[in-house]
Amino acid sequence: MSKKTTYLLGILLTIIIGTLLYCYLCDSCYCCPKEETEPTKVITNAEANPNVITVTRNAFAITEPNGDFKLNVNDNFNFKTSSFSILDSVSPKVISGVSKLKDFLLKNPLKTVNITGFYKSDETNNSAFPNLGLARANSVKNYFVTHGIPSKQLDTYGKLNDVIVPDGANTLFGPMSFNILTHSPDEVDEKLLASCDSIRKNPIVLYFKTGQAQINLTPEQRQKIADISHCVDKLGVKILVVGHTDNTGNAQTNLNLGQGRADFAKSYLVSNGILSDNIEASSKGQTDPIASNNTEEGRAKNRRTVITIN
């Protein structure tokens, strides 16, 4: 083979190899067909685990209907499931929001805030209130009161809400809602007055067994606790807890025993979100029987603690 032919073959071979390398390395080359591949797909968490549940996080939001007041804080009062105690970690933003709400309400005494606490049907209600939502609303109300908001401008409610979802540590973030109402100067809540009068006529009566360490309320008594709390908030009355005994033993011992029972009931109410300053505990010992002390049945009725309002 002549040198000229070898030289031409070398040039041809160089062109072929160069063309092949260009097609291989260049994505935009159309001269050489390529095998089509599927585009890369980003797998989201929801696709990777279709059972992922989004945790509910309600803002601390209150808006006055005519626009005089608006609060929207990306945080709230938080609770553990089956608990009505506010978690200690109340954020500075929420504290600041409460301060703004206080200033607004003090300037507008005819405005009231409805606090609605939510609860789930699978939670356990260990409070003295009819439902856990109302107990949570009462805890938030007490927080407002201790930060200078008048209780007369606060109303509490409870509402079943199975849509709210806790996180993995069983924390409910803001199971609450708030709204502002305006009342007329001469408005009288006849229903509230009737409820308070009913408490005075038919107070809660508790009977204690020896060594009893807890109080178990009936549904009717739980509702009365809620009614009593409203009477205290709206009318400024005091809760009266009075201990009574039978006439067994001496009078001074029975007076002390009755006081112990009254203090026990007061502690129970305080642990359930009733402010201590609103409760007066006293004893009448054996001096106010409601049945004969000559029978065991009568003495059992006399060993009682009465919860009412003044």
The number of angstroms, rounded, from the C-alpha of 262 to the middle of its chain's C-alpha atoms is: 28
- For the four alpha carbons of 144, 150, 153 and 155, in that order, the dihedral sign comes to positive
Give the pLDDT score at 40: 39
- Spell out the residues 6+ positions from residue 187 whose beta carbon is closer than 8 angstroms to its own: none
* Per-residue pLDDT of the chain in tens (310 residues, 90 and over written 9): 565 566 556 666 666 666 655 555 554 444 444 444 444 344 444 455 656 679 999 999 999 988 889 999 999 999 999 999 999 889 999 999 999 999 999 999 999 999 999 999 999 999 999 999 999 999 999 999 999 999 999 999 999 999 999 999 999 999 999 999 998 888 888 999 999 999 999 999 999 776 666 788 999 999 999 999 999 999 999 999 999 999 999 999 999 999 999 999 999 999 999 999 999 999 999 999 999 999 999 999 999 999 999 9
Q: What's the chain's length in residues?
A: 310
Give the pLDDT score at 23: 55
Q: What are the b/e assignments for 282-305, b being 16+ CB within 10 Å?
A: ebbbbeebeeeeeeeeebebbbbb
State how far the Cα of 151 lies from the Cα of 230, in Å rounded to an integer: 9
The number of angstroms, rounded, from the C-alpha of 44 to the middle of its chain's C-alpha atoms is: 33
Q: Is 180 helix (H, G, I), strand (E, B) or coil?
A: strand
Give the pLDDT score at 87: 95
State how far the Cα of 231 lies from the Cα of 203, in Å rounded to an integer: 13
Q: Which of 135, 304, 104, 114 is nearest to 204 (CA)?
A: 304
Give the pLDDT score at 26: 54
Q: Domains of the chain by range and CATH? A: 54-182 (3.30.1330.60), 190-309 (3.30.1330.60)
User: What are residue 244's DSSP bridge partners?
Assistant: 285
- For the four alpha carbons of 228, 231, 233 and 237, in that order, the dihedral sign comes to negative
Q: What distances in angstroms separate CA 212 from CA 126, 208, 257, one per listed residue?
A: 17, 6, 13
Give the pLDDT score at 186: 81
